[in-house]
Amino acid sequence: MRVLNLSDNWLFTKGNNEFCIEKEIDNGEHITLPHCFNAIDGQSGDGMFKGECCYQRKLNISNEDINKFTFLEIGAASIICKVYINGQLAGGSECGFSMFRVFLNPFLKAGENLISIMVDNSSHDDIYPLMADFSFYGGLYREVKLIISEALHFNLMDNGKDGIYLTQRNIDKDIFELKINGKIVNELSDPKEGKIQFKLISKEEKIVFSKILDVKVLKETEFCLVEEIAKPNLWEGLENPYLYRLEAELYYEDKIYDKKTIEVGFRTIEITPDKGVFLNGKAIKLNGVSRHQDFAGVGNALTKEHMDLDMSIIKEIGANSIRLSHYQHNDYFYTLCDREGILVWAEIPFISVPTTSDKENKNAKDQLERLIKQAYNHSSIYCWGVQNEITIAIENETIYEMVKELSHMARKLDSSRFIAQANIHSVANESSLNELTDIVGYNLYYGWYYKEIRDLEKRLDEFHKTRPDIPVMVTEYGVDTNPKLHSYNPVVKDYTEEYQLLFHNNALKTFNERAFVLGGYVWAMFDFGSEIRNEGGEKGRNQKGLVTIDRKIKKDTFYLYKAYWSKNSFVKLAGSRFVNRHKELNDIVVLSNLENVKLYLNNQFISEINTSEPMKKFNDIKLTLGKNIIKVEAFDDAGNIYSDEMILNHVKEIDESYILLKHEDEKHVVNWFEKFDLSNVQEVAIKEGYYSTFDTIEKLYENEQAKEVFRKYFGEVAKSQQFKVMKGLMTIDSMSKRSRFNIPKELLSAINRELNVIAKKQD
């Protein structure tokens, strides 16, 4: 089997160009893969292109290779994709985050062939994500490979990756069972007698076992080998991510036809509802961050270098877990997690709103199948996430059913891992949704979208009290932060670095003080493209990252986490971008994992703190007008000195550039209903046969009068793209349960007074 990388010599053209299915593109742009056609506009906030584009390339097939078996492997194409060979449709995919393969033989000829790949990132009402807070970048944004195979090979076309699945089970104290199963395919009609040689090899190149299976392959043959491994070196997370490698060689008449090498780490993971997580029997807190797959200027077309950089930043902070949200990521990133010892929450984009046009929910299932089959062999993955905030518009039985189906399916595909979900805060602790998965995550934004920072603790304690048997964690928490903005008195929605510090320090304390909280996933490790956003002084971005989207600025909170999590000694002064200080007395915040720190002002020792608190504060440091040099030194037990320095400018006037002038709060309109008179509103007893706040907006829109009532109250909401996606699901009543719409109870009665007199057509 030969695998060729087809990353170069592509032509690209934007827009609906059906002619390029068959004909060569005239004035195409020369590009190399990976490629994203929203690299810039997907992060600009000025509207992004959505539609069909064409990628084209020639492919020469030799006279010898035409007799072989040829597959095109597309790492991912966003969001839907059709592959044409010499003008004929050969295959495609509607799973924009997964790898897929196309069998090319029926369409190829010896000599020159034309590959045309149409990629479409426009919205479809049955393809996920339907709606989400991230840009739906379009492109052929991962590697494309050509696989030229002999007649006999490990299965390439089961929606998986290797055609081999490794399942481990801890059967006794330190004995593991490794099941190796899969399928061999014979492309020819005559049966073939083959052999598979399996070898498990340690990092030190010692052979743990070597076994040969004889296989007779007619068309397809399944194989299965189960081996016991006594006392393997364990995969111990960050401390020692020990990996073995399994080599599987497929022989026919003493010639190797196919070969796979798969890394595997042996570990046990236990999740409890009261004591948290145990990795190989050792208690650990999931110190996690969430990551999207995009980067400034390239959209989602990340190279290995981008991914290596991301991993190095995540390692620097000391995280031991990553939520790879909200979809399947590049296989290379899961591999990095295996190798670096990072536990992974992997998930599908069954997010925000479910489809109403496909009762089978096929696309979510397809994406789940591909994620699990393709990422199955990554030992770092501990759970499969089946939904994220899927009840954002409404919570009902239909959605429960969908989640239940996905959970069952995940369990069937992989019984060795946990099933998980990430709920929006409005899902009640008592909700039966919480019973559908092994792990329940809540995305909690207390102190940002609603309530106060400290309400996080209350909510977690209440959950645990109500649901003592359900393992819970915080799958998202964070605040938008623009590192240009600063304040002496940080408050919610000021977007300052100082507010981000307060918010996260509280969250970390909250998790650490509660053994039952499995951990948390910071939302988010990096700022990311979100075309719908325009807030905090930046368009087109979600700025909740600890690091900016170009990975250039590590916000102060990055170092707060590092101080909590990392074992590598360091010290960092917070507020270094808050240069112009108009107050004479300033609190100087120091972030460090060392206890003893000393502060110097203009080279003079000021004072010293000894505390294990990661965030330490020197109060009321008196600055002199003009330039002040602040220096901090920290000491480890071995006597090593670590230091950091910053310059603060004491100025007379407040520096206005640190303050967000306009509170653009389009998403969360405050008291927008004040223009309606809600005094003396009486509750209305709802009459059957007439419209009410319990009808979906789509239903209200069927009647001109009812539509008018809706538009009178929610005209602004109706303009947004998200609203269009939610129309079929959302009722005014369900909107009123979402804090971001901020609908008072009296308003519901007022609306019902107007709606509940409009008769529905009898059908």
Chain residues that interact with ligand GCU, rule: CB under 6 A: 132-133, 326, 388-389, 443, 476, 523, 542, 544
C-beta of 150 vs 538, nearer to ligand GCU: 538
Task: Measure the CA angle with vertex 616, ends 612 and 620; round to 5°.
Answer: 150
> Is beta strand 269-272 parallel, antiparallel or unpaired with respect to 255-264?
unpaired
Shortest Å, Cβ 750 to ligand GCU: 29
What is the Cα–Cα distance from 77 to 418, expressed in whole angstroms?
A: 28
Residue spans of beta strands (DSSP E) within 487-610: 517-522, 528-535, 538-542, 571-573, 580-581, 585-592, 596-601, 604-610
SS3 656: helix
> Is beta strand 220-230 parallel, antiparallel or unpaired with respect to 538-542?
unpaired
Please enumerate in sequence order all residues whose Cβ is within 8 A of that of 585, keeping only pairs 6 or more positions apart, or say none: 620, 621, 622, 623
Q: Which residues pair with 598 in a beta bridge?
A: 608, 633
Burial class (CB in 10 A: 0-12, 13-18, 19+), 180: buried
C-beta of 217 vs 525, nearer to ligand GCU: 525
C-beta of 529 vs 728, nearer to ligand GCU: 529
Shortest Å, Cβ 523 to ligand GCU: 6
Shortest Å, Cβ 638 to ligand GCU: 42
Shortest Å, Cβ 326 to ligand GCU: 6
Element (H, E) at 643: strand 641-650
Residue spans of beta strands (DSSP E) within 379-471: 381-388, 418-424, 439-443
Residue nearest to ligand GCU (CB): 133
C-beta of 133 vs 633, nearer to ligand GCU: 133
Shortest Å, Cβ 347 to ligand GCU: 10
What b-and-e string marks burial along 198-217, b requiring 16 or more CB atoms within 10 Å of the CB?
A: bbbbeeeeeebeeeebebeb
Q: End-to-end alpha-carbon separation of the chain, Å?
A: 62
The closest alpha carbon to 440, from 403, 398, 399, belongs to: 403
SS3 567: coil
Shortest Å, Cβ 41 to ligand GCU: 19
Which phi and psi angles does 383 have, rounded to 5°? -150, 160
Using CA atoms, how far residue 272 sits from 285, 388, 514, 663, in Å, is 12, 22, 13, 43
C-beta of 120 vs 347, nearer to ligand GCU: 347
Say if residues 383 and 345 touch (Cβ distance below 8 Å).
yes
C-beta of 320 vs 388, nearer to ligand GCU: 388
Two structure tokens written together for 460: 């977690």
The closest alpha carbon to 614, from 592, 641, 643, 642, belongs to: 592
C-beta of 17 vs 391, nearer to ligand GCU: 391
Shortest Å, Cβ 536 to ligand GCU: 11
The closest alpha carbon to 251, from 283, 284, 213, 222, belongs to: 213
Shortest Å, Cβ 720 to ligand GCU: 14
Shortest Å, Cβ 133 to ligand GCU: 4
Shortest Å, Cβ 538 to ligand GCU: 13
Within 10 angstroms of residue 31's Cβ, the number of other Cβ atoms is: 19
C-beta of 285 vs 544, nearer to ligand GCU: 544
C-beta of 523 vs 558, nearer to ligand GCU: 523
Shortest Å, Cβ 705 to ligand GCU: 35
C-beta of 93 vs 443, nearer to ligand GCU: 443
C-beta of 535 vs 644, nearer to ligand GCU: 535
C-beta of 132 vs 371, nearer to ligand GCU: 132
Q: Which residues pair with 541 in a beta bridge?
A: 529
Shortest Å, Cβ 527 to ligand GCU: 10
Shortest Å, Cβ 192 to ligand GCU: 49
Please confirm whether the linkage preceding 241 is cis (ω < 30° from 0). no
C-beta of 69 vs 523, nearer to ligand GCU: 523
